[in-house]
Structure 1
Amino acid sequence: MTEATERFFESLPARAPDVLHSPVSGTLQIDLARGNQTLHWVVRMAPGVIEVSRHRGPADAIWYTSEELFDRLVTGQAQAISTVLRNESSFSGHVGLFLAFRRFFPDPPGTRDPRDVAREQAGRLR
């Protein structure tokens, strides 16, 4: 497991109150492929709360991806939904859990909120 991924999972409980506002609750199992083995993370989500463990167990949804791709996600170099649409990762189960979890990933480097850009442009027109 890379340091970036470890730090990402360790940070989730502290970040949950700011990120998990929707009423989505459930368990997401994240399976990370590394060579011939699979590393498992289980994330239990509820509004404002998240618990993370390394124990495999019953889950409402399962997301399967490579460890390398997950590292790109936690560093903002890839986008979760895009990886599923391009078939670089796969997902099954309660899609709301995946959509809620993806909000923990950072934006790509250099990304700006379009509202901020519009405000700046409106300010220049005055």
Structure 2
Amino acid sequence: MTEVTEDFFASLPDRAPAVLRSPVSGTIRIDLSTGARTDHWRVELAPGQVRVSRSPEPADAIWYSSVDLFERLVTGRTQGIAAVLRNESTFSGNLTLFLIFRHFFPDPPGTRDPREVAREQAGRSR
């Protein structure tokens, strides 16, 4: 397991209040594979909080990914939905949990909020 991935999961509880604002709750298990080895991360989501464990226990949703792809996700070099649509990873179970969990991933490097760009352009035209 890469240090980037370990750091990502370790950061989730502190980041949860800002990310998990909806009333949705449930468990998502992320199965990360490399070669013949699979590491399991079980994330319990609740409004404003997260609990992370290294457990293969059943969950409401399961996301299967390679370690390499997941590292690209946690560094913002690719997007979760795009990876699933390209069949680079698979997802089963409660789709809402996947859609919520993806908000923990950073935006691609250099991405800016379009409202911020519009404000800057409006300020220059004055």
Q: After TM superposition, is the score higher than 0.5?
A: yes
Structure 1 CA distance for aligned equivalents of residues 36 and 77 of structure 2? 25
How many matched pairs?
A: 126
Superposition pairs of residues 6-17 of structure 1, within 5 angstroms: 6-17=6-17
Q: SS at the partner of 1:71?
A: helix
**Which whole-Å CA distance do the structure 2 matches of 1:89 and 1:15 have between them?**
24
Per-residue CA deviations over 1:65-113 (Å, capped at 9, x if unaligned) read 1000000111111111110111111001111100111111111111100
Aligned match of 1:101: 101
Structure 1 length-normalised TM: 0.97
Q: What is the RMSD of the two structures over their aligned residues, measured on CA atoms?
A: 0.7
TM-score by length of 2: 0.97
* Consecutive aligned runs of 4 or more in structure 1 exceeding 3 Å deviation: none
Distance across 1 between alignment mates of 2:46 and 2:29: 15
Question: Which residue pairs with 1:90 in the alignment?
Answer: 90
For structure 2, which runs of at least 5 residues remain unmatched after alignment?
none
User: What per-residue deviation string (whole Å, max 9, x for no partner) do you get for residues 22-76 of structure 1?
Assistant: 1110000100011111110000000001000001112100000100000011111
How far 1:125 sits from its partner (Å)?
Answer: 2.1
User: Structure 1: where are the runs of 5+ without partners?
Assistant: none
Q: In structure 2, how many angstroms separate the alpha carbons of the residues matched to 1:35 and 1:57?
A: 21
Distance in 1, matches of 2:82 and 2:23, equals 24
Mapping for residues 1-126 of structure 1, pairs under 5 Å: 1-126=1-126
